[in-house]
Structure 1
């Protein structure tokens, strides 16, 4: 048996994280949204809906078990890093199919129960929200200056210690901690790590801006409370983007110190450090997702304003959501809107800007490895 224990452990943990997040998703979406379908909030504990979730949980658990057995077989027989990647993509595909099956079931239940048909449906909007969200709903963008400062320090290290480098410089390590990547000494090595830092800084700052641009969604039954939850939700997640950008750039800064031999750390220790950082980011992401819920729906906020009760419901906009995933509404000028399943934002594919953004992100994902090469 080839010793690929570290690779196996890493991929095993990836599967566990995906599995836990998938089974938590239905619980962290807005209370009026169930598997991508808008329902009356007081029907969330409906026995039929619980049955859908239980089936969703069982299917996800079975698929998870099957894939764990497969990666165990790969681990016990041969080294297969590419196969692990393919398995993760296939696993995500199967979980998507399970979700779509659940989405269809909830839609049929909603039709059969005639929910929303006898109650007035309205849309609640706060026209002042967009005026103050950039200053009150997000952490200060100046926190990203910490990452900028670290990039500057990384450049400084490169220029200062370049002359002390050997002719062959180790720059990459595998899961066993062995060097599997080198660079011939040249001025290009000064820009290797800063390039990574700049790319990730742009990504996280872009996500930070999307949080501010995202469409505000208020719950008709308690609009004031919903507004405060949404503001706190954006503030928390904008803070996470700053945190993620900072910790990743800090890791790259330390990596640069090792490459230029200012600091000493074994290759295996570097891999362990990377796994720890990824684990921290994933753990914080999952914790915040469960703590806040989509749009801040799980946050506890006192509300002194009387609730509208069940007299009015949010507008039934299911027709704009394909499978509860793709938002297509030509009449909506908003580009960014909250996801209906899970936590985060998506784009309005009914607008050309949204289509171009979606295509651009897809292309970026495909060429991302070449950008960093």
Structure 2
């Protein structure tokens, strides 16, 4: 009975959080204010009637759908004792949100074209060369917590390794609840999660280093103040990403400890994974509420007269309702997102295509080797 209640709570929590995120998706908290539903508009049209109407329609439909799917999937999951209902419900909500978003994107783009919103504007672009000559420094001190967790994991693993049993158990969610699969004890199985910590830390550090040199999203109306604000945004994002890395490493350390001690408690496993993930969610919420997309919620520290310019209308380079950037003439690899907070890759850049192909080739080769073995 406790397992059924736990599965029901997990289904409900997962769908409730997802529904809340999808409901809030069109909010300026999660997207650049002048890019409603992925459509670039002049700042004075960010709250035009057509935009507000589509926001209201999207939110109304998502509110009803999220409530219905959450209740039905939670009840079904409780009756069957499985998280499959929650997973299916999540897919349905995401599919509906994508359809509603695409419809709103098309309606706003049509209103923008029919109304000539860019007809009487002065479009422009701005860059800050000091971001290259004097870039925001990598937050080395913020990597210390992640490295300390890795060091503790390695030391603990070395100490307990000689006394480990012949087989190690790892928890895994299945249709029937939490199950434990056993693997022959070896250096790779015992230290597999520690290796994941190392790879995660190196990957996140590389990503942060790349983001610090990514193309900046500056305010063309107030370029000096915008550049200062963007620097603070980069600093906050870099520190947060390394902090999130430390939290995920801590979760992996907890899972390693459970594996090494052969503890197969579902509630304890849930606590070990859930507490760090809640902390990660808290960091993300703080970024959304206090920083915003490209630092839009950060307070300007200097007064500056407006140039009267608006960002260039570059809708032609954005596909899939403003979620994918494809521009072969743009040398940038990373560009600020239109939908959500952060950056996305330029799929028209040859280096991105080569890198993606290389990763896929390595993944396929590894799968073939594993299958042959």
Q: In the aligned structure 2, how far is the partner of 1:272 from the partner of 1:295?
A: 34
Q: Does 1:348 align with 2:346?
A: yes
2:200 corresponds to which residue? 200
1:159 corresponds to which residue? 158
Per-residue deviation at 1:295?
Answer: 0.4
Q: In the aligned structure 2, how far is the partner of 1:14 from the partner of 1:325?
A: 24
- Structure 2 alignment gaps of length 5 or more: none
Task: Tell me, yes or no, if the aligned pair for 2:12 and 2:86 is still in contact at 8 Å.
Answer: no
3-state SS of paired residue (1:31): coil
Are residues 77 and 179 of structure 1, via their aligned partners in 2, closer, same or farther at CA, if it must alter by over 3 Å?
closer
Per-residue deviation at 1:232?
Answer: 1.2
Count the aligned residue pairs.
366
Are residues 280 and 43 of structure 1, via their aligned partners in 2, closer, same or farther at CA, if it must alter by over 3 Å?
same
Are residues 89 and 173 of structure 1, via their aligned partners in 2, closer, same or farther at CA, if it must alter by over 3 Å?
closer
Query: After superposition, what is the alpha-carbon deviation per residue over 1:151-192, rounded to whole angstroms, capped at 9, x for unaligned?
Result: 233222222222223344443266999762334444444322
3-state SS of paired residue (1:158): helix
2:309 corresponds to which residue? 312
Q: In the aligned structure 2, how far is the partner of 1:74 from the partner of 1:233?
A: 43
Greater CA drift, 352-361 or 31-40? 352-361
Q: In the aligned structure 1, how far is the partner of 2:281 from the partner of 2:159?
A: 35
Q: Does 1:234 align with 2:234?
A: yes
Task: Tell me, yes or no, if the aligned pair for 1:173 and 1:267 is still in contact at 8 Å.
Answer: no
Per-residue deviation at 1:110?
Answer: 0.9
Per-residue deviation at 1:244?
Answer: 0.9
- Structure 1 alignment gaps of length 5 or more: none
Query: After superposition, what is the alpha-carbon deviation per residue over 1:15-41, rounded to whole angstroms, capped at 9, x for unaligned?
Result: 222222233333222222111111121
Task: Give the TM-score of the pair, scaled to structure 1.
Answer: 0.86
3-state SS of paired residue (2:134): helix
Write out aligned runs for 1:183-222 (5 A): 183-222=183-222
Per-residue deviation at 1:365?
Answer: 9.7
Are residues 331 and 209 of structure 1, via their aligned partners in 2, closer, same or farther at CA, if it must alter by over 3 Å?
same
3-state SS of paired residue (1:213): coil
Q: In the aligned structure 2, how far is the partner of 1:281 from the partner of 1:366?
A: 31
Query: After superposition, what is the alpha-carbon deviation per residue over 1:319-345, rounded to whole angstroms, capped at 9, x for unaligned?
Result: 111221111112111010011011111
1:147 corresponds to which residue? 146
Task: Give the TM-score of the pair, scaled to structure 2.
Answer: 0.86
Q: In the aligned structure 2, how far is the partner of 1:290 from the partner of 1:19?
A: 18
| Pairing partner for 1:338 from 336, 339, 343 | 336
1:328 corresponds to which residue? 326
Write out aligned runs for 1:249-288 (5 A): 249-261=249-261, 266-288=265-287
Per-residue deviation at 1:243?
Answer: 0.7
Per-residue deviation at 1:101?
Answer: 1.0
Task: Tell me, yes or no, if the aligned pair for 1:2 and 1:78 is still in contact at 8 Å.
Answer: no
3-state SS of paired residue (2:15): helix
Are residues 99 and 206 of structure 1, via their aligned partners in 2, closer, same or farther at CA, if it must alter by over 3 Å?
farther
Task: Tell me, yes or no, if the aligned pair for 2:9 and 2:74 is still in contact at 8 Å.
Answer: no
Write out aligned runs for 1:113-132 (5 A): 113-132=115-134
Q: In the aligned structure 2, how far is the partner of 1:188 from the partner of 1:159?
A: 13
Are residues 99 and 235 of structure 1, via their aligned partners in 2, closer, same or farther at CA, if it must alter by over 3 Å?
same
Greater CA drift, 199-208 or 288-297? 199-208
